[in-house]
Amino acid sequence: MTHRQKLVCSAAVLAMFSCVILFAGFFAPYDFAAQDRDAPFAPPTAIHFVDAAGAFHIRPFVYGPRDSGQTAAIGAADLRQSYPLHWFVLGAPCKIAGLNTSRLRLFGVEKPGRIFLMGSDAYGRDQFSRFLYGGQISLLAGLIAAILSVSIGILAGGIAGYYGGWLDGILMRGAELFLALPWLYLLFAVRAALPLHISQWQVFLLLISLMGLIGWARPARLIRGVVLSAKERNFVLAARGFGASDAYLLRRHVLPQTYAVLLTQITLLVPQYVLAEVTLTFLGLGVGEPMPSWGALLSSLQQYSVLSSYWWMFLPALLLIPLFVVFYAAADALQELHKSVPL
Amino acid sequence: MAKIRISRACLVAVAIFSAGSAAHALPKQAGEERMIVGGATGHAGGRLVVALRSEPKTLNPALALDEPSRDVIRCLTADLIHINRGSLKTEPSLAKSWSVSRDGRQYTLQLRRGVRFSDGQPFNAADVIFSFQVYLDEKVDSSQRDLLVVGGKPINVVKVDDYTVRFELAQPYAAAERLFDSVAILPRHLLDSDYRAGAFSQAWTLSIPPNQFAGLGPFRLKEYVAGQRLVLERNPYYWKSDRAGNQLPYLNEVTFLFVPSEDAQVIRFQSGDTDVLSRFSADNFAVLQKQQSQKGYHLDDLGAGLEYNFLFFNLNNPGANVPPEIAKKQVWFQDLRFRQAVSAAIDREGIVRLVYSGRATPIWDQVTPGNKLWLDENIAHPQRSLAHARELLKSAGFSWENDGALVDPHGEHVEFSILTSSSNAQRTKIATIVQDDLSQLGMTVQVVPLEFRAMVDRLLNTHNYEAAVMGLVSGDADPTSEMNVWLSSGETHLWHPRQENPATPWESEMDHLMQQQLVTLDYAKRKKLYDRVQDIVAEELPVICLVSPNILVGAANRVANFRPAILVPYALWNIEELYVQ
């Protein structure tokens, strides 16, 4: 596969994934906060085509829950009651991050039947729905932080590389200072200083943007390098000889050469910040309940009882691995492409 | 005082059994009055390994505040009169008998004769006088002092003769005998010089050489390895015997390992590294239960303990440095109908099921079903009803917008935050369920987990909070241990602490009832008074009681005479009677 094909493939996969997450309200069968208090830690619901009597059904179905309220019976199916899977059903309307989503759902079963594709969590909430909704927050956070980092990086790196001299010295020493910063303690301090009254996810977006702001040093150093070599190129020198201004040179000749590096940086930084969100949640700095995020989904694995008893709690983590692989593949292809294109 | 708060096995057993060093029992001396205890007769030897959540901070009984320190000190020291954890009643300890004067203000205690400290020195009335002098000294600032001040005056301790001590109280005190429980008697011969030099608070730190430590408990200090373990050995001078006349304790050694998290403790217990486990969650109980039969341990669910978890609102005076944006919401919180609506909307059964896997009991007032002596059976247990909650809110002038959001009579959205302690997973879970329940009434609730000390600071000092989920555990079943919670002047009167005058008529009534029960000696009359306190809590809802978790313990099958109780310390209260099979 050529680099271009690889790039197109991974970009297509990412676009598809993002689309599903963007329209979580349609793909998720339940609201992310809907608790089914009779089904904490229910295993993934089995979807059947063949019933107990051996008859085949074209429309898949699930069996009903057995005797609600009995902790021991969670996950046990009542074989007498079956609930066929319906496509395009109307569920409760639900809102996330201020965006209204419609009531239309891709699939669902009638109550009291339930369909938990990835099992349920401690409150009986559907893990699959929470995974999709959680992606909205986690990917958004990753994207915001990455764009922030890269924007500051391009500004600082561009100036430092182009003008050089004492400006370069100050900016790059500043970047090193930021690389050495114990950001974790900084985040704790910021969280402690914030009032209780701003909502949890505002706090979270604030923290993640803060991380983005702190993370500018690495892209800045990279961009500085690219700018440094670009400004010495013959065509740049020639343009300068013809009397082009600094602003023109930067806009027309120097910065365009950093685009590939920028894109690569963003594709590398997004998964990095998504993982940072996981760490934040582990430390109790993430979005608050009942908002889902990928970090929140994984943090329940900290408990020994969950870790040792409910295998389906690992599913979100397993799904994230291929996603990150695709991200890195995209970054890799971008980088290779950038190398092979003659400047 | 109520406290705020949180198959290799066989091989190991054999190895431990043979490793125990043989400290032989001393023959009983003439005139020694040993106490006979009634458990099954065991045999001497062996060792017990127990995990502590952290290193004890001190071995000084007057200064110990943390749970691990207290757990260790309980094994090293003894009190005059003891509360039997099994029966919850008082029983003789170092005092073999006592009498009460007719007015209930003088207690005369007969001390056991021939008792010796773990270094062999004799014990007599001088040690008792010395101990109480230390505990009552304001400069020492001991945690026991508050309990020993009755009616505003410290208890007066008088030596009658070498084996008789008289305690004089300023006023009759209903639970006076229970005061002596866990007040450790200190050795005058070791601590007097430190005390006189004003250096008592530096005495008996964890690094003390074992020969400079002595107590009257079943064990004495053997070895301390920083960051790893604390080892106790059998006290050869211990003053209790079993029914066959064998001197106790049976065990040669007790090792306390420092294991920092509950999950790690559960894993160590599961693998047979430790013998006894207490203070763990229902989730971990379920995990341990699965391997119960293969792994050679057994688990006990003792039913409801004395811990009660509750939701409460900030009812402090708006003037008393409550931030204005919170003062605005206090108008709702002060309205009884609002609190009733919240109470009616909360799914207590759901909390029991989701947070405690069914190992808890829903409650509607502060006395848990575990406290059979003081439980008021007549408290109503209304079913959850959202319809009733909505009616209450409507009658209080609240209404709903088209999208279901609740607004107050001034059109303000009902939004508030609930604080919980981030170190307590159960309480955070409770708050999350409450959040979901209240969202069905149209309230927007945020759960804010905070570090424990930061939370307590907000609750008791800055009053910068709106609502909180907390739990309290009584150290004793008796209501006197709850004085600091229910008196309006109390330090732990959570919703409005340290009032100069009771802010409401019902708090004034509660003050009166609590003071009254303190000086009433008749149990039936006291019960009536405390029943009324429970009625007030259930009616006025200063705290909305939710759930009382069960006491869960586990022990290796080889540990015999294991009789866990619902009172702290749940598992090792009869450690002198434990033996290994």
Angle between helices B282-290 and B262-270 (to 10 degrees): 20
Count the Cβ atoms, other than its own, within 10 Å of residue B293: 9
Between B342 and B320, where is the model more confident? B342
B522-539 average pLDDT score: 94
What's the confidence (pLDDT) of residue A38? Answer: 85
What's the confidence (pLDDT) of residue B383? Answer: 92
What's the confidence (pLDDT) of residue A193? Answer: 76
Residue of A94, A289, A306, A309 to mutate for B, most B C-beta atoms under 10 A = A289
Portion of chain A with pLDDT greater than 90, in percent: 16
Token representation of residue B142: 């001991």
Q: Long-range CB contacts (< 8 A, 24+ apart) of B195-198?
A: B195/B130, B195/B134, B198/B139
B47-59 average pLDDT score: 93
Residue pair B427/B307 in contact (Cβ under 8 Å)? The answer is no
CB burial readout B150-184, b (16+ within 10 A) else e: beeebbebeeeeebbbbbebeebbbbbbbbbbbbb
Closest CA to B98 of B62, B128, B120, B133: B128
Range in A41-50, A88-97, A330-339 with the lowest mean pLDDT: A88-97
- SS3 (DSSP) at B377: coil
Distance from CA of B16 to the nearest CA of A (A): 28
Identity of the residue in B283, B439, B454 whose CB atom sits nearest the CB atom of A305: B283
Q: Find the chain A residues whose C-beta atoms sit closer than 8 A to any C-beta of B.
A: 33, 35, 37-38, 40, 69, 71, 122-124, 192, 196-197, 199-200, 284, 288-290, 303-306, 308-309
Position A96 pLDDT exceeds 70: no
What's the confidence (pLDDT) of residue B9? Answer: 33
pLDDT class of B75 with cuts at 50, 70, 90: very high
Cross-chain Cβ contact B266/A196 below 8 Å: no
Query: For residue B215, with 0-12 CB atoms within 10 Å meaning exposed, 13-18 middle and 19 or more buried, which class applies?
Result: buried
Position of tokens 């001197």? Answer: B247
Position A73 pLDDT exceeds 70: no
Of A324-338, B147-161, B384-398, B439-453, the range with the highest mean pLDDT is B384-398
Range in B10-14, B306-310, B505-509, B565-569 with the lowest mean pLDDT: B10-14
Contacts of B353 in chain A (CB under 8 A): 37-38, 40, 69, 71
B156-164 average pLDDT score: 94
Cross-chain Cβ contact A290/B357 below 8 Å: no
- What is the complex's ipTM, to 2 decimals? 0.79
Backbone angles phi, psi at B551, to 5 degrees: -85, 120
Identity of the residue in A35, A284, A304 whose CB atom sits nearest the CB atom of B287: A304
Tell me the C-alpha distance between B82 and B91, whole Å.
5
A299-308 average pLDDT score: 87
Between B201 and B250, where is the model more confident? B250
Handedness of CA A113, A118, A119, A124 (dihedral sign): negative
Position B526 pLDDT exceeds 90: yes
Range in A88-92, B433-437, B444-448, B459-463 with the lowest mean pLDDT: A88-92
Between A264 and B346, where is the model more confident? B346
Contacts of B350 in chain A (CB under 8 A): 37
A54-79 average pLDDT score: 67
Count the Cβ atoms, other than its own, within 10 Å of residue A47: 13
Range in A4-13, A181-190, A309-318, B269-278 with the lowest mean pLDDT: A181-190
What's the confidence (pLDDT) of residue A342? Answer: 45
Query: For residue B110, with 0-12 CB atoms within 10 Å meaning exposed, 13-18 middle and 19 or more buried, which class applies?
Result: middle
Between B552 and A334, where is the model more confident? B552
Cross-chain Cβ contact B325/A197 below 8 Å: yes
Cross-chain Cβ contact A124/B447 below 8 Å: no
B215-242 average pLDDT score: 94
Distance from CA of B451 to the nearest CA of A (A): 10
pLDDT class of B26 with cuts at 50, 70, 90: low
User: What residues are paired with B52 via a beta bridge?
Assistant: B258
Position B118 pLDDT exceeds 60: yes
- SS3 (DSSP) at B253: strand
Q: SS3 sequence, chain A?
A: CCHHHHHHHHHHHHHHHHHHHHCHHHHCCCCCCCCCCCCCCCCCCCCEEECCCCCEEEEEEEEEECCCCCHHHCCCEEEEEEEECEEEEECCCEEECCEEECCEEEEECCCCCCCCCCCECCCCCEHHHHHHHHHHHHHHHHHHHHHHHHHHHHHHHHHHHHHCHHHHHHHHHHHHHHHCCCHHHHHHHHHHHCCCCCCHHHHHHHHHHHHHHHCCHHHHHHHHHHHHHHCCCHHHHHHHHCCCCHHHHHHHHHHHHHHHHHHHHHHHHHHHHHHHHHHHHHCCCCCCCCCCCHHHHHHHHHCHHHHHHCHHHHHHHHHHHHHHHHHHHHHHHHHHHHHHCCC
Identity of the residue in B358, B425, B446 whose CB atom sits nearest the CB atom of A288: B446
Instruction: Tell me the whole-structure pTM to 2 decimals.
Output: 0.85
Range in A87-91, B31-35, B186-190, B271-275 with the lowest mean pLDDT: A87-91
**Distance of CA B578 to CAs A237, B18, B39, B70, B278, Å?**
89, 17, 9, 19, 16
Do the strands B35-36 and B240-241 form a parallel or antiparallel pair, or are they unpaired? parallel
Position B10 pLDDT exceeds 70: no
Identity of the residue in B284, B428, B448 whose CB atom sits nearest the CB atom of A305: B284
Portion of chain A with pLDDT greater than 70, in percent: 89
CB burial readout B260-290, b (16+ within 10 A) else e: eebbebbbbbbebbbbbbbbbbbbbbbbbee
What's the confidence (pLDDT) of residue B15? Answer: 33
Position B550 pLDDT exceeds 90: yes
Identity of the residue in A35, A38, A196 whose CB atom sits nearest the CB atom of B417: A196
Q: How many CA atoms lie within 13 A of A86 on its CB side?
A: 14
What's the confidence (pLDDT) of residue B477? Answer: 86
Token representation of residue B344: 């009616």
Distance from CA of A70 to the nearest CA of B (A): 9
Distance from CA of B283 to the nearest CA of A (A): 6
Token representation of residue B478: 């008796």
CA A65 distance to own-chain centroid = 33
Tell me the C-alpha distance between A91 and A29, whole Å.
8
pLDDT tens sequence across B208-223: 999 999 999 999 999 9
Position A335 pLDDT exceeds 50: yes
What's the confidence (pLDDT) of residue A191? Answer: 74
What's the confidence (pLDDT) of residue B575? Answer: 93
Whole-number mean pLDDT of chain B?
A: 89
Backbone angles phi, psi at B232, to 5 degrees: -110, 150
| DSSP-assigned letters across all residues of B68-129 | HHHHHHHHH---SEEE-TTT-SEEESSEEEEEE-TTS-EEEEEEPTT-B-TTS-B--HHHHH
Cross-chain Cβ contact B353/A35 below 8 Å: no
pLDDT class of B23 with cuts at 50, 70, 90: very low
Portion of chain B with pLDDT greater than 70, in percent: 94
Cross-chain Cβ contact B347/A37 below 8 Å: yes
